[in-house]
Amino acid sequence: MLSDSVATRSGADADKRDSLKQTPLHRAAHAGAVDCILALLELGHMEYGANAKLRDEGNLLPVHCAALRGRDEALRMLISQDPRSANAEAADGWTPLHFASHAGFPAALEALVECGAYVHSVDKEKMTALHRAATSGSEAACQVLLRAGADVESTDSLRRMPIHVACEEEWAHVVRVLLEAGSPVDTLDGQRRTPLLIATRAGNMELCEVLLSCGADPNFGDTARGIPSALAVARRGTDPALRNLMEEYARAAAAAAAASLVLSEERQAKNLSPRRKQIAHRKTAQCRESANYLLSIMKLMI
């Protein structure tokens, strides 16, 4: 490392590029060689100069190389020299935060957030860092971004929220983290899929259980708009365990809907006049009959 400094002082080109158009600073950032980065950056203030703003063949700056390898100390050092580089865009609009998120490096994400990286920045696919972290399967990376204020309801160019992306990758633990952070559970993406529908089509039992336990509705769908319910898909499938799971939650959902109907009518009848109470009681009885009918129909269907 010292030899790099000596070589540069003796007149070697600090910005000499290799076949990938990378400079020594790109290579040092990629390797996380903090001493070498420091020496090159210090020389940047002298006539020999290492330029941190040069891009390689892939349009990457040294800060991007450090991010994609999770080099948190290298990131701090590079950004301290140029604070704007924390949000510098590479090809396809990826920022250092996107690279570190996609690779699932929580320490690098912490460093970037501390150095002023904008957590809501989007790439050319309108994906945020949280979308990219959701694809990585790193629960810790998602949590860093969520603590920094990442939006669980942000949508990409395909109208997918981070939860849709996590379901596509079948990361049940990431889905749970997103739901605990307030992500909608029955929202549709651009392909008219709910997270549960994605999980059901993938046949992922664990993922379906996570979604159902957090309130996903197996009956949610609209055949007129071409949106099948997860229950219908499970019934057409070949996995009896998955079908039984959906039917169990469908029964519970029907019972809850029936109970809610009766409770609503009972609440409305509380402060009425005697005559209106009599009418309300008749309506409540009718609701009970409707609720029981609904349950009987659901049992026949299930």
Per-residue pLDDT of the chain (302 residues; tens, 9 = 90+): 444 444 445 456 778 888 888 899 999 999 999 999 998 888 655 556 688 999 999 999 999 999 999 999 999 999 999 999 999 999 899 999 999 999 999 999 999 999 999 999 999 999 999 999 999 999 999 999 999 999 999 999 999 999 999 999 999 999 999 999 999 999 999 999 999 999 999 999 999 999 999 999 999 988 888 899 999 999 999 999 999 999 999 888 777 766 665 556 556 555 555 655 455 455 555 555 555 544 454 444 44
> What's 87's DSSP letter?
G
Distance (Å, rounded) from C-alpha 6 to C-alpha 17?
18
Q: What is the pLDDT of residue 6?
A: 41
Instruction: Collapse the DSSP code of 227 into the 3-class scheme (helix H, G, I; strand E, B; otherwise coil) and give the result.
Output: strand
- What residues contact residue 25 under an 8 Å CB cut-off, 6+ apart? 14, 15, 37, 40, 41, 50, 51, 52, 54, 62
Side chain identity at residue 85, one-letter code: S
The helix or strand, by DSSP H or E, that contains position 250, with its residue range, turns out to be: helix 240-268
Residue whose C-alpha is closest to residue 220's, from 181, 242, 192, 182? 192
Q: What is the pLDDT of residue 13?
A: 75
Count of beta carbons in the 10 Å neighbourhood of residue 154: 17
Tokens 């049940």 -> residue? 172
Q: What is the pLDDT of residue 297?
A: 45
**Residues forming beta bridges with residue 222, ordered by sequence position:** 227
